[in-house]
Structures are given as C-alpha cells and as structure tokens.
C-alpha cells in the first residue's frame, strides 16, 4: 500500500510539473563601455542540475527558451574569465528581458547581482471571473475584449486588431488549442480571457499581431452555476 501511495505521489508530482508554464530569458550582451555589443559570447544557465548553453548572435542578442519559473544565474564566458549575473527571475508565461553588461577584466570569476530594473516586455491584459459576471457583453467575447482593452479593436469584418496590426495576424487559443477565430465560443461558457498585446511567450509561436487565450468552463463549472441558480 505504501509503495502504491508513493508511486501515486510521484506520478501526480510529474503531472503537475508537466503543466507548469515556462518562461523565457532574452536580451543583449554589451561590452565594458555599455555601448558596443559582444558578438558570439558563450552563455549558460543551470536548470535542475543541467547546464543549458546559448551563444550570442552577431548583434549581441541571446535567448533561453522554455525555462521553468525560478531564479537563475547566467554565466558568460570571456576567455578564461567567468562573469556570473546572479538572481535573474523567470516567471511563468513571461519574457524576462535582461541586458548583460560586461565589467572590466579583474579576477577569474566575477559575480554581479542583478538588482537593476528590467525592461518590461510582457504586455498582457486579463478578464477574470468577477469581470465576466458583471460584463454587459458577456454573450459576445469579442465585443467584451474590445470594450475592455484600449489596444484592441475590430475591423468591418469583425476581425480583431491588436495595437494596429494587420487583420488576420491575431492568434487564438481556446483551451490550449490553436484556432482561426473565437466567434463560435458562446460568452456564457467563458471562464477567463488573456490577451498578449506584446512580449508573446515562445510557446505561442511568432506573431506580430498578438495572442488571445480563452479558457472555457468545465462541465462541473456549468453544473454548479445551474445548481446555484435554482436556489
């Protein structure tokens, strides 16, 4: 019995870990003068005991994708010297924009705490349960989003436009499934809406128009709502 319980706990833990939303770290590596970039710098971070490597591009850009939420140290290799930028925080479903500024050559290893402001590139707005309940446009999710978020509009064909993007560039996910639109989803079945107007997480793919993520109510959500209405 104890063995079965242990296996069940391990299985549940693995399932919960698999459902954790991942984040991204990206930015540029700059030289000592904080003006010129460092091309082809070698970087690495340690995740769960494993080292993940990356190399800066010609313009100094680097990126670590699909990183579990947590606090990490970014190591930059410069000849025989290791520059460690410590305390870089990764949040679920978000991009941590972190530019790295190399210090003058000193000792073999230099640790630089990250305590400066980060560039916020995560532009996400949400409509939660309480907002949905009291929204007069509950039966029209598109109209509800447009009337709630200033950066979202629609064209004459009722296509959503985010921050002036072209019609058709917006990507929709309904319960994790990519869709061409969300017009077939009844508003009363919506549990929550998130709209990324910029800084789209890597798992949603590349798009210039933004991402609309819609979560619907489960059977039990609808049942309990109906049951409550009978009282």
DSSP character string of the chain: -HHHHHHHHHHHHHHHHHTPPPEEEEEEEE-TTSSSB-TT-EEEEEETTEEEEEE--TTSEEEEEEE-SEEEEEEEEETTEEEEEEEEEE-TT-EEE--EEPPPS-SSEEEEE--SPPB---EEEEE-HHHHHT-TTTT-HHHHHHHH-TTEEE-TT--EEETTPPTT--EEEETTEEES--TTS-GGGEEEEEEEEES--GGG---SS-EEEEEEPPHHHHHHHHHHHT-
> Looking at the structure, do residues 221 and 136 belong to the same domain, yes or no?
yes
Chain segment 20-73, per-residue pLDDT in tens:
578 889 999 998 877 899 999 999 998 888 899 999 999 999 999 988 888 899
What CATH number does residue 163 fall under?
2.170.130.10
Q: Are residues 45 and 102 in the same domain?
A: yes
Domain membership flag for residue 221: yes
Please identify, among 51, 85, 113, the residue that sits at the C-terminal boundary of a domain: 113
For residues 208-228, average pLDDT: 73
Our count of domains for the chain comes to 2
Residue 4 lies in a domain: no
Residue-wise pLDDT for 146-183, tens only, equals: 888 888 888 888 788 888 777 778 888 888 888 877 77
């Amino acid at each position: 019995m104890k063995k079965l319980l242990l296996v069940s706990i391990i299985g549940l833990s693995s399932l919960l870990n698999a459902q954790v939303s991942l984040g991204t770290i990206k930015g540029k590596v700059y030289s000592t003068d904080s003006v010129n970039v460092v091309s082809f710098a070698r970087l690495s971070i340690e995740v769960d005991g494993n080292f993940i490597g990356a190399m800066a591009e010609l313009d100094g850009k680097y990126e670590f994708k699909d990183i579990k939420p947590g606090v990490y140290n970014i190591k930059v290799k410069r000849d025989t010297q290791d520059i460690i930028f410590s305390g870089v925080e990764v949040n679920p479903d978000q991009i941590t924009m972190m530019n790295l500024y190399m210090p003058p050559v000193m000792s073999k290893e230099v640790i630089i705490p990250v305590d400066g402001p980060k560039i916020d590139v995560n532009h996400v707005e949400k409509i939660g349960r309480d907002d949905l309940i009291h929204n007069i446009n509950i039966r029209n999710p598109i109209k509800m989003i447009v009337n709630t978020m200033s950066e979202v509009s629609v064209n004459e064909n009722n296509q959503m436009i985010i921050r002036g993007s072209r019609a058709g560039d917006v990507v929709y996910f309904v319960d994790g499934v990519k869709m061409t639109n969300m017009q077939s989803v009844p508003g009363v079945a919506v549990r929550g809406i998130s709209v990324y107007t910029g800084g789209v997480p890597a798992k949603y793919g590349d798009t210039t128009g933004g991402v609309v993520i819609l979560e619907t109510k489960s059977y039990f959500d609808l049942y309990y709502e109906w049951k409550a209405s009978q009282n």
